[in-house]
Amino acid sequence: MAYRVIQWATGAMGKAVLRTVIDHPGVELAGVYVYSDAKAGRDAGELAGRPPTGVLATRDVDEILALDADVVVHAGRIGPYGCHDEDFARILAAGKNLITINGYSHPAYWPQTRTQKLRDACEAGGATLLGAGLNPGFVAEQLAAVASGVCASVDHIQITEAADASQVRDPRYLFETLGFGADPAACDPNDPSWGPSVSLNGMYEETLAALACRLGFALDQVETDHVLHPAPADLELPAGVITAGTVSHANWRWHGIAGGRRRLTMSIHWYVETSHLDDPHPPLWAVAVTGHPGVNLTVDLVKHPDDKSRMSAEQYAVAGQVINAIPYVVAAPPGLLTRPIATPARDDYVTFTPPAG
Ligand SMILES: NC(=O)c1ccc[n+]([C@@H]2O[C@H](COP(=O)([O-])OP(=O)(O)OC[C@H]3O[C@@H](n4cnc5c(N)ncnc54)[C@H](OP(=O)(O)O)[C@@H]3O)[C@@H](O)[C@H]2O)c1
């Protein structure tokens, strides 16, 4: 039996998931929720660059929640962390398992007051919530944790990500959510009330908390030393113009503190030009474990040689993470699920039943 999937939001990531759902033999598309009027009523195949599926996109939440489906994959744009909790609670209470690509790696990090509503919704609907994705989702919660498995002791783990945001098409996401185009002299990225920090800090704090939990310690706090870099010249991008002197590269840095020292660092370079990078062709990820012994990994994702689409390997990798997580979220008891340390791709996907719990 194929898992029946509803795709919620069809931006770059949602579209990659939608394609993968249409293409994958172990899953079947049940419905598509979109935010934009222009996409409502269109066939999912058309949105995904695939033949017609007979599934039409809708903006009607009630219509979506009435569908028979095993799981909803939520790929909506992030806002202040937790801003989709109301929608999540509705989906879960309607009896749909839910995978989000916007955090929720380790909900136990948050106080009960934040998570209780989601727990209640899971209980009411007999459903499970799971975070998936690359970062958050994979590089810290799974890859770095696995890398530490050869160390008798770990002093510190740094994860460095380099993400080219120049092809982002949604101006609101690029400028408001990620802070590109802001005047570096007029904003302080280490002020937690700055818009992009409100969206990103909580999500990556939780990611570090998830890794700390895997390593057997708890974080006392997370501190930031985010840095904004200015554009050397005007830049014309699909989402709009970044003028010289405004933010063209942000190095977001979160440090997980435990026992009075930095034990974990997440350093993400989001950039639309490379003049402030040490290496103009950085790997997607570098994981540096300092310990006994240390481990250094660099990781790049590579598109399938037959794939001539404009979609990136990263977009397909998010989709792969989601697809491989579906059997786990469906098998789990109701509640907030923490990802298993590995969710490999499986040839026996269709018949595979992961252990519950
Ligand atoms: N975990 C990971 O590794 C990972 C990796 C990349 C991105 N992400 C997250 O995935 C999210 C989507 O990324 P993307 O690259 O697909 O973005 P995108 O291409 O800019 O697409 C924006 C998406 O937001 C939807 N949207 C429009 N209005 C919205 C609203 N009011 N509330 C919520 N969503 C709204 C759009 O819906 P329509 O369907 O109507 O277009 C579209 O699907 C981002 O927030 C990002 O944080 C996670």
Atom of ligand 1 nearest to the CA of 77: 45
- Collapse the DSSP code of 151 into the 3-class scheme (helix H, G, I; strand E, B; otherwise coil) and give the result: coil
Query: Band of the pLDDT at 1, cuts 50, 70, 90?
Result: confident
At 54 the pLDDT is 98
> DSSP alpha helices (H): ranges in 136-279?
145-147, 171, 195-214
Output the CA 79–ligand 1 centroid distance in Å. 10
Report the C-alpha gap between 193 and 5 in whole angstroms. Answer: 36
Residue 73 pairs with which residues in a beta bridge?
A: 7, 99
**Between these two residues, 355 and 63, which has the higher pLDDT value?**
63
Q: Which amino acid residue places its CA nearest to atom 23 of ligand 1?
A: 11
Report the C-alpha gap between 77 and 118 in whole angstroms. Answer: 19
**How large is the average pLDDT for residues 283-302?**
98
Report the C-alpha gap between 105 and 354 in whole angstroms. Answer: 19
96-124 pLDDT, tens per residue? 999 999 999 999 999 998 899 999 999 99
For residue 200, with 0-12 CB atoms within 10 Å meaning exposed, 13-18 middle and 19 or more buried, which class applies? buried
237-260 pLDDT, tens per residue? 999 999 999 999 999 999 999 999
Q: What's the mean per-residue pLDDT of the chain?
A: 96
At 355 the pLDDT is 82
Is residue 209 pLDDT above 80, yes or no? yes
**How large is the average pLDDT for residues 41-63?**
98
Is residue 357 pLDDT above 70, yes or no? no
Atom of ligand 1 nearest to the CA of 35: 40
Atom of ligand 1 nearest to the CA of 203: 47
Output the CA 9–ligand 1 centroid distance in Å. 7
Is residue 356 pLDDT above 90, yes or no? no
322-355 burial by CB neighbour count: b if 16+ within 10 A, else e? Answer: bbbbbbbbbbbebbbbbbeeebeeeeebeeeebe
Residues within a 6 A CB radius of ligand 1: 9-14, 34-36, 39, 75-78, 101-102, 133-137, 168-170, 173, 318
Cβ–Cβ under 8 Å, residues 328 and 70: no
Is residue 49 pLDDT above 70, yes or no? yes
Output the CA 223–ligand 1 centroid distance in Å. 26
Query: Band of the pLDDT at 16, cuts 50, 70, 90?
Result: very high
**How large is the average pLDDT for residues 251-274?**
98
Q: How far is CA 1 from CA 26, 83, 328, 353, 356, in A?
A: 7, 34, 15, 11, 18
Percent of the chain with pLDDT over 70: 99
Residue among 77, 299, 343 whose CB has most ligand 1 atoms within 8 A, to mutate: 77
173-194 pLDDT, tens per residue? 999 999 999 999 999 999 999 9
Is residue 139 pLDDT above 80, yes or no? yes
Q: Which amino acid residue places its CA nearest to atom 20 of ligand 1?
A: 170
Residue type, 90: R
Nearest to 5 by CA among 91, 86, 81, 124: 91
Atom of ligand 1 nearest to the CA of 177: 45
Query: Band of the pLDDT at 35, cuts 50, 70, 90?
Result: very high
Output the CA 75–ligand 1 centroid distance in Å. 5
Query: Band of the pLDDT at 320, cuts 50, 70, 90?
Result: very high
Atom of ligand 1 nearest to the CA of 170: 20
Atom of ligand 1 nearest to the CA of 57: 39
Whether the CA torsion 307, 311, 313, 315 is positive or negative: it is negative
> DSSP alpha helices (H): ranges in 126-227?
145-147, 171, 195-214
Nearest to 204 by CA among 56, 300, 104, 119: 104
Q: Which amino acid residue places its CA nearest to atom 45 of ligand 1?
A: 77
Q: Which amino acid residue places its CA nearest to atom 7 of ligand 1?
A: 13
Output the CA 266–ligand 1 centroid distance in Å. 22
Report the C-alpha gap between 47 and 200 in whole angstroms. Answer: 28
